[in-house]
Chain A
Amino acid sequence: MIGCGIDAGSRAMKIVLMDAASRSIVATAYADQRPDQDRLAEELLEEALKSGGAKDRDIGRTVGTGYGRQLLSRADTSLTEITCLARGVRNQVPDVQAILDIGGQDSKVIFLDVKGVRDFMMNDRCAAGTGQFLEMTADRLGLSLSELGRSALRSRQPAAINSTCAVFAETEIVSLLASGITPDDLAAGVLRSVAQRTASLAVRRISAPAVFSGGVARIPGMGEILSLALGQDLIIAPEPHFTAARGAAHIACDGLDEP
C-alpha cells in the first residue's frame, strides 16, 4: 500500500507517495499553485503515480497539509504543516531539537523534544521574512532564486536592509542600488535580513541538532547565513521543500496494512 502526502502550500503544491511497508519514497511531484487547486492536485497525483509506476488504487490513505489543506477533496485527513514538518524531519533526524522552516509566505520555528512538537512560533503577518521577499528581490535584480544565493555568496560586505516591511524594503533596495551598492552585497543583505527575522522568531535558544526546511532552504548560501544569524549549526533537510509532504506521507502510511 502507498501513503500519499499532499502539501498545498501558499506558493507551490508538493506530493510525496510513500511505500507503507518500506517507508521508501515511490515518487514526488511539484508544481506552482493555481486557483483550481483541487484539479492541480489530481493532475500532480497522476504525474506522480505515473513516474512511480503505481496505480491510484494502491493509495491507502491521503493526508493533506498546507494552507489549502481543508480544500483538498482527495485528502482523508488534514493536518497542519507544523505536525507534518515535525514528522518529516524526525524520520530523518530522530533527536531533532528545532526545525526552522521558511516557505513562500510564512516562516516557522518548531521546538521538539522526545515526545514530538513542544512549541512553535510563526511569522505569518509580514512578507519581509519569507520566500516572497526573496523572489521580489531576485526579480528586481533580474536573477533566479539560486542565482540570488550564489550572488550573495560572492559578497564581502552585505548591505544593511533596515525596512521592516517588504513593500518599503523594495523602495530601499532601489535606493541602495542607486547609491552604488553592488548586487552581490544587496543579495547578501536581503538573505541576511530574512535569516535574522526567522532567528528572532525563536523565543528560546535553538540547540543542536537543528534542521532547516522549506523552499527557501534550497537557495545556495541561505543555510550558512541562517546558521550565522542563529549562532547554531544547521542541517539542511534533504529536498527541503518536500519536508511537510514527506511527513504527511509518513502519517498516511501509519496504520496501513503492512505485508
Chain B
Amino acid sequence: MASDESPLDYFGRMVDNCYDYTEAARAEGRPVVGIMCEYTPREVLFAAGAVPVCLCGGANETIPAAEQHLPVNLCPLIKSTFGFHVQRSNPFLEWADLIVAETTCDGKKKMFELMSASRDMYVLELPQKADQPDALAYWTQEVFKLKSTLEKRYHKQITDGDLRAAIKLVNRERSLKRRLANFMAQEIPPLTGRQLLEFKSLISGIEADYRQYERAIRLFESGWAAPGSPLAQKKDPPPIRVLLSGVPNVHGAERILELIESAGAIIVAQENCTGLKPILEDIDPDAPDPIRAIAEKYYHLPCSVMTINARRLETIRELAARFRPQCVIELVWHACLTYDVESGQVRRFVEEELGLPYLKIDTDYSTSDSARLSVRIEALFETVRSRQGRPPSRISA
C-alpha cells in the first residue's frame, strides 16, 4: 500500500473531509448548494460553479425537535432533515446559499415549504408518470429552468461546454462507484456491504475522493481483503448473499445494514438511492442537447414515487442476475407510503419471478425494535440455509 492508511480509513473521516473541502471552496467564492434527493441533477450545479452537498438527515437525535412542527407519523428521513434545520446543527445546511429540492414525495414537499420560510429554496417539480414523453419534456423544462435560475443567481452564463465538463465529472464518479460495487459480485467479496457504503461523500466531485476510490479499486484488484470482509474471514459456510432494496440508508442511518450483516449475511447489492440505483446510468457528454440528456438520465431513476414504476423491478432483476443474492430484504422507512404500497409488488416479483425468499422491514431511526428485527432477519437466514437445495442460479441471467 502507498500509505499506512486504507481507503476505508480515509472515508471514515468523510464528514471532516467534506467540512474542510467546503471551507476551502467557500474561501474561493464557490457557493454551497444543498440537495435533498437523487433526482437533483448535480451536473447543473457543478456547471454553475456550485458545491452540491447532500443534506438528507440520518440522525435519530434531531427527530424530537422536528416533531414539534411535523407529525410524528412521518418518514424519519424527512423528520431528521427538518430537525437539523430547526436546531441549526448541520454546518453544511447553515453554509448552504440555496437548497435545490424537488417534489419527490408529499412529506418532503410540505416540509420544504416550512423550511423555505427561513431559507432560500428552489423546488423542481418532478412529474410522476414514468414512461410518458410529455412528462419527460416537462422535466427537461424544469431542469432548464433550474439552469436559468442558477445563471441569474450566480451571474454566470452556463454554456454547453460547462455542462459537458460536469457530465464527464459525474460520469467518472458513477463509474468509480460502480467498479467498487462490482467487487460484491465475487463469490467471496473482499468487503462487506457496510464497508461498500463507506465509499461515499456528502459532496460529489472531490478529486481527493476520486483518487481514494481509484486506490481502493487497485487494492481490491490486487487481492486486498478489507478487515472483517468475507474474503478476510473465509468463514464456512460463507455468508448469505442479500439484495437490499427500498429506501436509502443515509449517513448515520446504517443500523439495518449492520443488523443484517451481523446475522451472518453480506449485502451484495443495494437497490436504493444510497446504493446502485442512481449510478447505473451515465450521461452522454456529446449528446446534442446536454440539458435534455441530463434530464433523461435523472428521470429514469426508479423511485416508488413514479407510476408505473416497472423500471424498479427490472433493476432488481438485473442486479439479482449480476450479484446472485439468496434472498431479498426490502427496507421501508416508517410512513413512506409509496415504498410501503409498492412493497407488495416487489414481494410478488421476488418470490414468483426470481424464486427468492423476501422479507420486508418497516422501521425508523430509533433502535427500539432492533431485537425484534433480528428475529425476523435471523429467521430469514435460517430459512435460506435450511432450503439450500434450491440453487440461487434459478434467477435467469
Cβ-based interface call for B223 (8 A) = no
Distance in angstroms between the alpha carbons of A81 and B371 in the assembled complex: 13
Cβ-based interface call for A43 (8 A) = no
Question: In the complex, which residues of chain B have a beta carbon less than 8 angstroms from the beta carbon of A82?
Answer: 375, 379, 382-383
Distance in angstroms between the alpha carbons of A15 and B351 in the assembled complex: 36
Interface size, chain A (Cβ < 8 Å): 17
Within 8 A of A (CB), among B359-379: 369, 371-372, 375-376, 378-379
Cβ-based interface call for B205 (8 A) = no
Give the interface centre of B347, B369, B382, B383 by most chain A CB atoms within 10 Å. B383
Stretch at the interface among A115-123, A209-217, A234-242: A115-123
Instruction: Tell me whether B375 and A119 are in contact (CB under 8 A).
Output: no
A103-141 vs B, Cβ < 8 Å mask (1 yes, 0 no): 000100000000111111010110000000000000000
Cβ-based interface call for B155 (8 A) = no
Cβ-based interface call for B389 (8 A) = yes
Of B369, B376, B383, B389, the contact of A83 (CB 8 Å cutoff): B383
A67-B371, A203-B347 are known contacts. Are A122 and B389 too (CB-CB below 8 A)?
Answer: no
Question: In the complex, which residues of chain A have a beta carbon less than 8 angstroms from the beta carbon of B378?
Answer: 79-80
Of A79, A81, A115, A203, the contact of B389 (CB 8 Å cutoff): A115
B328-371 vs A, Cβ < 8 Å mask (1 yes, 0 no): 00000000000000000001000100000110000000000101
Q: Which residue of B lies closest to A113 (CB)?
A: B387
Cβ-based interface call for B386 (8 A) = yes
Distance in angstroms between the alpha carbons of A192 and B369 in the assembled complex: 27
Instruction: Tell me whether A117 and B375 are in contact (CB under 8 A).
Output: no
Question: In the complex, which residues of chain B have a beta carbon less than 8 angstroms from the beta carbon of A117?
Answer: 379, 382-383, 386-387
Question: In the complex, which residues of chain B have a beta carbon less than 8 angstroms from the beta carbon of A67?
Answer: 371-372, 375
Distance in angstroms between the alpha carbons of A82 and B378 in the assembled complex: 9
Question: In the complex, which residues of chain B have a beta carbon less than 8 angstroms from the beta carbon of A79?
Answer: 378, 382
Instruction: Tell me whether B379 and A125 are in contact (CB under 8 A).
Output: no
Distance in angstroms between the alpha carbons of A125 and B364 in the assembled complex: 12
Distance in angstroms between the alpha carbons of A258 and B285 in the assembled complex: 71
Q: Which residue of B lies closest to A125 (CB)?
A: B369
A133-172 vs B, Cβ < 8 Å mask (1 yes, 0 no): 0000000000000000000000000000000000000000
Instruction: Tell me whether B382 and A83 are in contact (CB under 8 A).
Output: yes
Instruction: Tell me whether A115 and B379 are in contact (CB under 8 A).
Output: no
Instruction: Tell me whether A116 and B386 are in contact (CB under 8 A).
Output: yes
Distance in angstroms between the alpha carbons of A75 and B389 in the assembled complex: 28
Distance in angstroms between the alpha carbons of A65 and B387 in the assembled complex: 20
**Distance from B121 Cβ to chain A, minimum over Cβ atoms (Å):** 35
Of A80, A119, A125, the contact of B382 (CB 8 Å cutoff): A80
Question: In the complex, which residues of chain A have a beta carbon less than 8 angstroms from the beta carbon of B357?
Answer: 118-119
Closest 10 CB pairs of A and B: A82-B379, A80-B379, A124-B372, A83-B382, A117-B383, A80-B378, A115-B387, A116-B386, A80-B375, A122-B376
**Distance from A25 Cβ to chain B, minimum over Cβ atoms (Å):** 23
A69-96 vs B, Cβ < 8 Å mask (1 yes, 0 no): 0000000000111110000000000000
Distance in angstroms between the alpha carbons of A182 and B358 in the assembled complex: 44
Question: In the complex, which residues of chain A have a beta carbon less than 8 angstroms from the beta carbon of B375?
Answer: 67, 80-82, 122, 124
Distance in angstroms between the alpha carbons of A135 and B390 in the assembled complex: 43
